[in-house]
Amino acid sequence: MLTERFERALAYAAALHRDQKRKGSDTPYVAHLLATAAIAIEHGADEDEAVAALLHDAIEDQGGAATRADIARSFGERVAGIVQECSDTDQEPKPPWRERKEAYLAHLRHASKSARFVSACDKLHNARAVLSDYEQRGEDLWEIFNGGREGTLWYYRAIADTLAECDESTVVRDLVRTVDRLEETVRSAAPRK
Q: How far is CA 85 from CA 59, 79, 140, 182, in A?
A: 10, 10, 32, 26
**Amino acid identity, residue 192?**
R
Active-site residue, selected from the candidate residues 48, 49, 57, 60: 60
Asked if 114 contacts 82 with a C-beta cutoff of 8 angstroms, the reply is yes
Asked if 53 contacts 73 with a C-beta cutoff of 8 angstroms, the reply is no
**Cα radius of gyration (the chain):** 16
Classify residue 191 by its DSSP letter: P
Active-site residue, selected from the candidate residues 46, 47, 61, 90: 61
Rounded CA gap, 105 and 187, in Å?
24
70 noted as active-site residue = no
167 noted as active-site residue = no
**Residues classed as catalytic:** 60-61
